Structure 1
Amino acid sequence: MKGSIYIPSDIIEEILYFIQNELTNKSDHLNNESSTLFNCLLVNRQWCKLVIPRLWRQPFLYVRKGNPKLISTFLTFLNDKSRRTLLSNGITLSSLHQNFHFYKFHRSQYRSNFNYASFLKHLHYDYMLSSIEEWCSYSNQSVGNAISLITNSLLKLFLDNNVKLMSLFVWPNHIHWTHYSSSRYMELVESEVSGLLSELKYLHIETHSKYPSARFFSKLSRIVNVKKFYLRTQLLGLMGFPNDLENEMARNISSLINSQTNLTSFTLSNSSRYTSDFIKSLSPNVHNIQNISLIETKIVEIDSWTILSNCINLQKLEIIKCAGLNVESIISFVSANWETLETILIENNQPIDVNNELEQWANKKRNMNNKNLL
């Protein structure tokens, strides 16, 4: 019987990369990706060692409805000090762990051979909070303060394992909450765990009702300096909250955008009332920006088009299902010097005549690019 064939690890990494890319283009790709990677774990020990870090670099991506088992796994890696803090606040990590000294001397029974906490690179924060809430419910913990204590313990755990997040996703509108509070987000921007975000490259923020709070955006602007920023502000400015709440949130979001000094890609989705403020906040980055996407956004003010015109190093532009456009506003935009612009996507904007005008400009630009390539 012939021995098993050895495949170099870098080849397996290429295979895994190809698998993930292929699955991303299919419907329900998250379920496909997670199940396929789990199957890859079973090939042999070499494959397992390479797949585990891939699965655990963004573990909460696959658990939109929350998964208490993920939280239980991470909690087994807490240091003694964090464990004592939880136990002293009445949080029992499991029926076996109620006795701290029992756990301390039998720790190897509960830990894996892999340090899962050290693999984290992309944090889907709301999905983590949802999982913590599910864990509290599953473990019969008194929810209230327990969510905050567990959240803080996990963030410190990641920091203790030298985690430097590459991506952060804040998606409050994707979650059905039982215990919702703006303080859930403030845990993430406290100074003692801010090191997690010090090397962040990609930030995806979505607003929902009053969450995250304006104060969260204010503190976040002093911590992160990203290259790519995706902002979705559905209904912001249309909710009619008292005490200038929405205006304050919009101001702090604008400050967050403005505070970024290395921004190369910006996507704005579902913006209505504050579009001009957000786009004008790109001013410090007009020479850095290479990709801009405006999706289902109301673009009325001419100032927005002026700022876009100043992004002279733009390589990719998408304007999709936007509203409020007018011919006069786009004159300076289509007349700008776009030497680096290579990819243009104009689709289903309103009114139709302005969309057609932009499409004609895009076609001319594409034809010019094609001639230059000949």
Structure 2
Amino acid sequence: MENISTKHMKGSIYIPSDIIEEILYFIQNELTDKTDYLNNESFALFNCLLVNRQWCRLVIPRLWRQPFLYVRKGNPKLISTFLIFLNDNKRRGLQSDGIIFSSLRSLKHRNFYVHKSQYQSLFNYPSFLKHLHYDYMLSSIEGWCTYSNQSSGNAISLITNSLLTLFVDNNVKLTSLFVWPNHIHWNHYSSNRYMELVEPEFIGLLSELKNLHIETHSKYPSSRFFSKLSRIVNVKNLYLRTQQLGLMGFPNDLENEMARNISILINEQTNLITFTLSNSIRYTSDFIKSLSSNVNNLQNISLIETKLNENESWTILSKCINLRKLEIIKCFGLNLDSLMLFLSNSWTNLKTINIENNHPIDANSELELWANKKRNKII
């Protein structure tokens, strides 16, 4: 170790890479609890990559493993950077379909694009991708098409397909997928944007998926998207937010069909460890019943701002005997009689319990009393 340090200390102090990795991990964890942590995190990591080449090599993969996390309103710059890595055949194919790359030269001073011949990267950015915020990527593509004055009516779909192909070509295996349509505003919405992701040629991207974060917004993503997705993924952690599903009053049974396919998606996950359900009102019982195949696997359940008024939901939850963590927060419709079977379980593995602001108050009080007794036994 002394020889290594001497060799590197002539110009600067040498720090082993594993120590730097620990520092970067600490920085990210510390910022997670701060206000506006996304901007703080990206700013802090960007400053870290400027330290020297060693730090740069370690920071770049961290920034690019989830590049769209930091651009909730979309960012054409990211799309321009990814498009640089397209092979010549794909680039020519886009040009023949009406995509005009040369139009981006006028945006050079705003850093939206650097021509491929002028750009030589030390890093293959697409290969680092692990966590895809799909809606933020789509929003960025929409912004790119707007700024570059694309005349092709199908430009957004063409660029989406090209980027997904680029990720496949770079052997990307996603760890996490986020589908959050509630977080963005579409100027040119099309349900096909989500369907692109579950086409056969892109299944490889999702073959090793561990974390799936899904939310619904009125009638999209479509029920067909959930149907196809249920045949592709088998995740360990599922986060589901169904805000207003069943309350929008859409004709042709659209919401019921979407709820059925979401239930199928839940049921098809055979290795679930964590399940989070948020903002569920009309279909809560259906979703929780779909956990039946995972009652022995589940270790963490979080129910947030969700209506829990049916006995069957509590019956299924009571069968999850290997729970380690349970959260019931701001839920409503609770019934003391329904709780009894659930509370009578031994729950020998339960270590973390979070009960907050549920309604009615007497049911919440009963849950808090039970939680306190469990905590005292744990201590």
In which range does the TM-score fall when normalised by the shorter chain?
A: over 0.9
Moved more, 225-234 or 361-370: 361-370
Residues 98 and 152, structure 2, Cα contact 8 Å, conserved in 1: no
Which residue, 81, 94, 106 being the options, matches 1:86? 94
Provide closer, same or farther for how the CA distance between residues 198 and 266 of structure 1 changes in structure 2, counting only shifts above 3 A. same
Q: Give the TM-score, by structure 2 length.
A: 0.94
- Do the aligned partners of 1:137 and 1:143 also contact (CA within 8 Å) in 2? no
1:244 paired residue among 210, 234, 253: 253
Matches for 1:320-339 after TM superposition, within 5 Å: 320-339=329-348
What is the CA-CA distance between 1:41 and the residue it aligns to?
1.2
Alignment correspondent of 1:273:
282
Matched, 1:176 2:203: no
Determine the structure 2 residue equivalent to 1:364: 373
Q: CA deviation at 1:80?
A: 2.0
Partner Cα separation in structure 2 for residue 304 and residue 280 of structure 1: 7
**Secondary structure of 1:282's match?**
helix
Secondary structure of the structure 2 residue equivalent to 1:127: helix
Q: Which of these residues, 350, 353, 368, is aligned with residue 344 of structure 1?
A: 353
| Deviations 1:137-172 (CA, angstroms, capped at 9, x unpaired) | 000013631110100100010010010000000000
Q: Structure 1 residues 27, 91: CA separation in 2 closer, same or farther (over 3 Å shift)?
A: same
Q: Which residue of 1 aligns with 2:18?
A: 10
3-state secondary structure, aligned to 2:154 = helix
Structure 1, 43-52 or 109-118: larger mean CA deviation: 109-118
CA change 1:343–1:143 in 2 (3 A) is farther
Please list the CA deviations of residues 64-108 of structure 1 after superposition, one character each: whole Å capped at 9, or x if unmatched: 1110010000001011221122111010123489xxxxxxxx845
| One-letter amino acid of the counterpart of residue 242, structure 1 | P
Indicate if the aligned counterparts of 2:64 and 2:129 stay in contact, CA closer than 8 A.
yes
Q: How far does residue 112 in structure 1 lie from its aligned partner after superposition?
A: 1.5
Out of 109, 112, 122, the position equivalent to 1:113 is 122
- Corresponding residue of 1:44: 52
How far 1:238 moved relative to its partner? Answer: 0.2
TM-score (norm 1): 0.95
Summarize the alignment of residues 121-136 of structure 1 with structure 2, pairs less than 5 Å apart. Answer: 121-136=130-145
Q: Percent same amino acid among aligned pairs?
A: 81
Q: Which of 178, 182, 185 is equivalent to 2:194?
A: 185
Corresponding residue for residue 362 of structure 2: 353
Q: Which residue of structure 1 aligns with residue 110 of structure 2?
A: none
- For 1:143 and 1:213, the matched residues in 2 are separated by 25
The 8 Å contact of residues 262 and 285 in structure 1, kept in 2 or not, is answered as yes
- CA deviations 1:25-64 (Å, max 9, x no partner) are 1010000000011111110011111100000000000001
When the two structures are aligned, how many residues end up with a matched partner?
A: 362
Q: Which runs of 5+ in 2 are unaligned?
A: 1-8, 106-114
Post-superposition offset of 1:2 = 5.2
Q: Is the 8 A contact 1:136 1:143 kept in 2?
A: no
Task: Please report how far the alpha carbon of residue 111 of structure 1 lies from its aligned counterpart in structure 2 after TM superposition.
Answer: 3.8
Q: Deviations over 1:1-36 (max 9, x none)?
A: 953111111111110000000011101000000001
Structure 2 counterpart of 1:65, from 73, 76, 79? 73
Contact 2:99 2:152 in 1 (8 A): no
Q: CA deviation at 1:203?
A: 0.3
Superposition deviation, residue 109 in structure 1: 2.1
* Equivalent position amino acid for 2:95 in 1: L
